[in-house]
């Protein structure tokens, strides 16, 4: 199956991502220091994230699963108003856990569609393809190993299928607010009238519930955050002492942002041999690694309106924790 993955070959995962080199070089010279959560997803990071998705404190996956399962028939109706075939382009497909609910249902209903999973983790993509081929051998698959923006550039105008971009799992929450606007503007530019975007938004709720999701009792989020340093050690020949950094998360209900940090537990210096860099850390100094934004309905409607879309479907779980929202181009 590997030769059906377009854009980059599978061997890429063995080499250091040039974007990681740039991120480490510039991010660790900033005040405060920062490293983007985009780089969490090496093989180990993807494995830990899969565990997080199944963990009791991380409600997001369960909530979205419920939304998609409850509303799959409504979604299919939205996707096929006129029996035109459609292509589901899933940005950041991961292990496709939730998407499989839709794929299974659409297959049962004999819908005419293809599935194009896109992911920056080749390991996640590989696993997903094997899985899907096993469960639905006849489902047309167009996998792409790429980041979101390159995937958008590759959206072709050749097919007459309606494009339905899936951006599930609150991945949009990991974008800075301006980048989110920019992202939907780019989507709007690349899609045709009648195409749709289905986005999973984590909604604002009791702050304690959100706080616990990113401070889980099993320590999975801590391991996930620290794994970024392990990745830098391996790929850039650095000597971060993983026992000398801790995970810290804060949720601010005024901004709706959960922010994750790595905290230096002592004054220390880290060598990054490949970059010939020495990075000093004061006791208590942080590296900001992730934003996980939570939305209100008004903010989501405003996002659609600012970027040229109309909200054509709004689906939530029973508790109102999570919304999967259809934007129509
Ligand atoms: C992938 N993303 C939506 C997750 C989130 O909730 O922001 C990543 C994550 N970070 C910590 N736990 C999970």
Comparing C-alpha atoms, which of 145, 136, 98, 83 is closest to residue 117?
145
Distance 261 CA to ligand 1 centre (A): 13
Instruction: Supply the residue whose CA is at minimum distance from atom 3 of ligand 1.
Output: 171
Q: Which atom of ligand 1 is nearest to the CA of 49?
A: 13
Q: Cβ distance 73 to 108 under 8 Å?
A: no
- Identify the sign of the CA torsion 308, 313, 290, 123: negative
Q: Which atom of ligand 1 is nearest to the CA of 53?
A: 13
pLDDT of residue 105: 97
| 41 phi, psi to nearest 5 deg | -95, 55
Can you give the pLDDT of all 329 residues of the chain as single tens digits? 333 444 443 434 456 889 999 999 999 999 999 999 999 988 899 899 989 999 999 999 999 999 999 999 999 999 999 989 999 999 988 778 889 999 999 999 999 999 999 988 787 788 899 999 999 999 999 998 888 778 777 776 667 899 999 999 999 999 999 999 999 999 999 999 999 999 999 999 999 999 999 999 999 999 999 999 999 999 999 999 999 999 999 999 999 999 999 999 999 999 999 999 999 999 999 999 999 999 999 999 999 999 999 999 999 999 999 999 999 99
Q: Ligand 1, atom 6: nearest CA belongs to which residue?
A: 292
Q: Are 199 and 180 in contact (CB under 8 A)?
A: no
How far from 275 is each of 35, 258, 292, 306, CA to CA, in Å? 15, 31, 29, 41
> What's the gap in Å between 292 CA and the centre of ligand 1?
6
CA of 84 to the centre of ligand 1 (A): 34
Which residues line the pocket of ligand 1, CB cutoff 6 A?
A: 52, 60, 169-171, 173-174, 214, 221, 224, 290, 292
* DSSP per-residue codes, 122-143: HHHHHHHHHHHHHH-TTS-B--
Q: How far, in Å, is the centroid of ligand 1 from the Cα of 64?
A: 13
pLDDT at 17: 85
Residue pLDDT, tens place only, 72-110: 999 999 999 998 999 999 998 877 888 999 999 999 999
Which tokens belong to 317?
Answer: 């779980």
5 CA distance to ligand 1 centroid (A)? 25
pLDDT at residue 256, rounded to an integer: 98
Inter-helix orientation angle 59-79/43-54, to 10°:
90
Specify the pLDDT at position 217. 96
pLDDT at residue number 11: 38
Q: What is the pLDDT of residues 109-135, one digit of tens each?
A: 999 999 999 988 787 788 899 999 999
Confidence (pLDDT) at 279: 98
pTM of the model: 0.91
- For residues 45 and 67, give the distance between their C-alpha atoms in angstroms, rounded to a whole number: 26
Please tell me the residue having the least CA distance from ligand 1 atom 5: 292
**What is the Å distance from ligand 1's center to 53 Cα?**
9
Predicted local distance difference test score (pLDDT) of residue 124: 79
The whole-number pLDDT of residue 95 equals 77
Kindly provide the ipTM of the predicted complex, given to two decimals: 0.99
């Amino acid at each position: 199956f590997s030769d059906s993955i377009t854009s980059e070959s599978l061997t890429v995962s063995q080499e250091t991502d040039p974007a990681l080199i740039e991120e480490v070089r510039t991010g660790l010279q900033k005040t405060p220091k920062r490293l983007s959560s985009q780089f969490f997803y090496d093989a180990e990071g993807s494995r830990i994230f899969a565990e997080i998705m199944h963990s009791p404190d991380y409600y997001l996956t369960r909530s979205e699963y419920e939304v998609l399962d409850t509303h799959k028939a409504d979604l299919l109706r939205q996707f096929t108003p006129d029996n035109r075939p459609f292509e589901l382009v899933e940005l950041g497909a991961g292990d496709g856990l939730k998407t499989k609910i839709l794929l299974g249902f659409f297959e049962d209903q004999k819908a005419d569609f293809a599935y194009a999973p896109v992911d920056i983790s080749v390991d996640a993509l590989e696993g997903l393809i094997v899985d899907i081929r096993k469960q639905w051998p006849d489902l047309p698959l167009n996998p792409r190993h790429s980041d979101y923006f390159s995937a958008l550039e590759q959206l072709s105008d050749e097919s007459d299928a309606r494009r339905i971009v899936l951006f599930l799992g609150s991945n949009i929450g990991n974008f800075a607010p301006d980048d989110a606007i920019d992202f939907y503007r780019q989507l709007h530019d690349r899609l045709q009238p009648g195409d749709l975007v289905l986005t999973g938004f984590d909604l604002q709720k009791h702050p304690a519930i959100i706080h616990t999701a990113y401070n889980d009792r099993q320590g999975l989020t801590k391991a996930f955050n620290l794994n970024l340093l392990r990745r830098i050690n391996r790929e850039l020949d650095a000597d971060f002492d993983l026992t000398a950094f801790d995970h810290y998360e804060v949720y601010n209900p005024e901004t709706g942002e959960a922010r994750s940090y790595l905290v230096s537990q002592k004054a220390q210096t880290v060598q990054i041999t490949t970059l010939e860099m020495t990075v000093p850390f004061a006791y208590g100094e942080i590296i900001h690694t992730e934003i996980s934004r939570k939305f209100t309905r008004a903010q989501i409607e405003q996002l659609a309106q600012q970027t040229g879309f109309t909200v054509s479907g709004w689906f939530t779980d029973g508790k109102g924790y999570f919304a999967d929202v259809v934007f129509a181009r």
